[in-house]
Structure 1
């Protein structure tokens, strides 16, 4: 019992976050614009192209308020991230902050939850990209085998395009951080241009009558079938569309000027994406009644077809094909860095923590991440586990807010390059908001999240607790 209690006192000294062997150090190659693009690349993707329709079905025009609520919760978390990232500009994100502030067991569970989040997101987005790619190939009249476009759970053999995009993105990331960040930057500009074009085309058809009634289901109500409707349930769903900025903090060690660039990247990407989401939502509702596009899996393309912009509708579909790989790239990047830093701390096998001298990237762990995501996307039934990504993110957000508040009390005199304004209020807002959103997840998702972390606890007790650098 005494030894077990000692494990909870394993705190990683903040001064040691950069004390790593030369072969296990990441190379700083990213500027602030790369970091903003990294955040926007992770945030703007499947959410704005698909969830806007589902959110409209839950809240009607009131989804505008849902976007604001989800954005506020995410903004509170983003401010906490900015403070911790600039104070500890090292890889690992929420895992590293938890290790320094709350100890090794908590850090392990946070890292284990991040692995869940990033893996599921990569696989889920790859499957979504595959659907758009299959439609595009059909439009080009290319010969395709249907059984190679879907996994066994959907009646196929393997989702080959999903496997291919996962491996392609992993290869690009392994080639070098700056190279992949540059590609991401270009693709982000293209998809933002597509969304700007959507707003410009939809605004001439704007009809304010489409916003009445504004709150058809109120703040929260229940149907006879037990489905939650209203602004708050929609906010819980829309939260999926906001996370991604946390990946920037995993790039802290690779930022050229972390003191300035990390806060600009994290806060800047959140503000930019919130404005984009609200603008697109306003244009969408103004152009077409909610009931028309809410059931659609491609709401933006449907809206343009409805207002007789068929050619631009096809372009939006093409933009989706361009946008989705950037989301995979961002989350696979985050996944590889979480694996890397946990291996560097020896909570995972140390062989995963080697950085290639030529590319400056952890090639082994990057390829491993790509292969795992490819296997899941090619074979697994993702419909039942996709929301697990949200549970992992909420866990990380709560951990970062807690770390920020605890460290403010424990070490108030420490220099902070970026200070969270009204830190007590902001931190509490992030924690309470994330707990509410977690409580709004389906019970099955909550149970799977607990099971996943129970497995992680077994791995930690069987392997990591003995192999940890702090155990030496």
Structure 2
């Protein structure tokens, strides 16, 4: 895999359909000062991204964050990190489907909840049938999202109004911190470098180049979207800001196109995360972090139906009880931020002393700061950690009794 292909995959890991709604949620929390939260999270991303690139280069094909955390801190820590990601998927996929649903309702007139249900049903059906989003299709969806964001910024920017930045910080520092908490959703995914590294023809230089280019792409897109959305739409922007920006720049014809694109983007992301979670669940069962019954189907070329079914069972109540997209995205952000923090902390132990370890230390401090912005939503990863340790203990007892 060359640097261009790797960059596309890394951009796809970090940039997701959450960008369709995050400008609105951040502005709702902090007003125009949400641009400070965007800038702060971009600064956080630099040492974190470089740390995972260094970790991937030194341990190519490390098996993802849970495996790296296991090497650094042991089996129990690995199980907790695995549960954080596995538990985030039912919440995050429902949030992603609802994002697509909101755009469908605004652009095509179909009820948002119904559209979200159809997106989720299609994704679970595709996984049950053994269908996966191909690498080329994933890259195509990433290119589509990048094009959509760039077009919205470029066409809407001439309509900016400086008056939309006053009052600048109506909710003070607490508002900026609140915006940073929900924006964590857009700044996780750098850990993908730790298991993409082995795919590069030159896994050391290729991975580093891909990470640096991805940082530049993400930085330009996020800075453009955050500033332009406030400048054009104001702090009280609609819940579908990309549609509003495209309509401002291109006219009403952009509305139905945006709705169709939103469906494609959210389906692609939901489908991919469900597939990854199903396989992760089977792997957790093999390691004793889930009941062994869920391990079936986790082999190469097989479909882990039991783990897939568990993801479905966990997703249904989230969808039924979902009352606020902001809550779902913040809960997901807390779980994924915990995964990221565990990964960079593991890098501090595993990388050699010197520049690489110093970068990992800075990345750990920055990640913990970002984790703190999640506030009360940290209860979600805390509960998942207790559940992971409990599952390990129960399975260990069961194995001991069987051995007797």
**TM-score, L = length of structure 1:** 0.72
2:336 equivalent in structure 1: 393
Contact 2:49/2:190 (CA < 8 Å) preserved in 1?
yes
Q: Which residue of 2 aligns with 1:287?
A: 232
* Residue 311 of structure 1 pairs with residue 269 of structure 2: no
Matched, 1:161 2:124: no
SS of residue matched to 1:315: helix
Deviation at 1:385, TM superposition (A): 5.0
Give the length in aligned residue pairs. 393
Aligned to 1:196: 150
CA contact (8 A) 1:248 1:265 kept: no
Query: Structure 1: 5+ residue runs without aligned partners?
Result: 1-29, 140-145, 151-158, 221-227, 357-362, 413-419
The aligned counterpart of 1:446 is 378
Over 3 Å counting, the alpha-carbon distance change for 1:114 and 1:321 in structure 2 is same
* Residue number in structure 2 paired with 1:149: 114
Task: Provide the residue aligned with 2:66 in structure 1.
Answer: 95
Aligned partner (choices 428, 447, 453) of residue 361 of structure 2 = 428
The structure 2 residue matched to 1:43, chosen from 7, 10, 14, is 14
**In structure 1, the residue corresponding to 2:374 is in which secondary structure?**
coil
Deviation at 1:301, TM superposition (A): 1.5
Q: TM-score, normalised by structure 2?
A: 0.83
Task: Please show how residues 123-272 of structure 1 align to structure 2 within 5 Å.
Answer: 123-133=94-104, 138=109, 149=114, 160-168=117-125, 170=127, 174-175=130-131, 180-218=134-172, 220=173, 228-229=174-175, 231-252=176-197, 258-272=203-217
Separation in 1, partners of 2:39, 2:96: 24
1:50: how far off?
A: 0.8
Q: Relative to total residues, which structure has the larger helix share, 1 or 2?
A: 2
**1:97-116 mapped onto 2 (5 Å cutoff):** 97-116=68-87
Q: Is the 1:114–1:392 Cα contact (8 Å) retained in structure 2? A: yes
The 3 A distance-change label for structure 1 pair 308 and 137 is: closer
Contact 1:86/1:262 (<8 A) preserved: yes
Alpha-carbon shift at residue 128 of structure 1 (Å): 2.8
**How far 1:457 moved relative to its partner?**
0.8
Q: Using the alignment, how far apart are the partners of 2:253 and 2:163 within structure 1?
A: 27
For residues 71 and 460 of structure 1, the distance between their equivalents in structure 2, rounded to whole angstroms, comes to 36
Alpha carbons 1:341, 1:353 under 8 Å: kept: yes
C-alpha offsets along residues 35-83 of structure 1, whole Å, 9 cap, x if unaligned?
4333333433333211101212333332222111112223222222111
Computing the radius of gyration from Cα coordinates, the structure with the larger value is: 1
Within the candidate set 321, 335, 342, 2:277 is matched to 335
Quote the Cα distance in structure 2 between the aligned partners of 1:326 and 1:42: 12
Alpha-carbon distance, 1:464 to partner: 5.5
Going from structure 1 to structure 2, the CA distance change for 1:268 and 1:335 (only over 3 Å counts) comes to: farther
Tell me the CA shift for residue 182 of structure 1: 0.8
Which shows bigger deviation, 104-113 or 309-318?
A: 309-318
User: Aligned pair in 2 of structure 1 residues 307, 81: CA closer, same or farther (>3 Å)?
Assistant: closer
Deviation at 1:453, TM superposition (A): 1.6
Counting only pairs closer than 5 Å after superposition, residues 114-125 of structure 1 correspond to structure 2 as 114-125=85-96
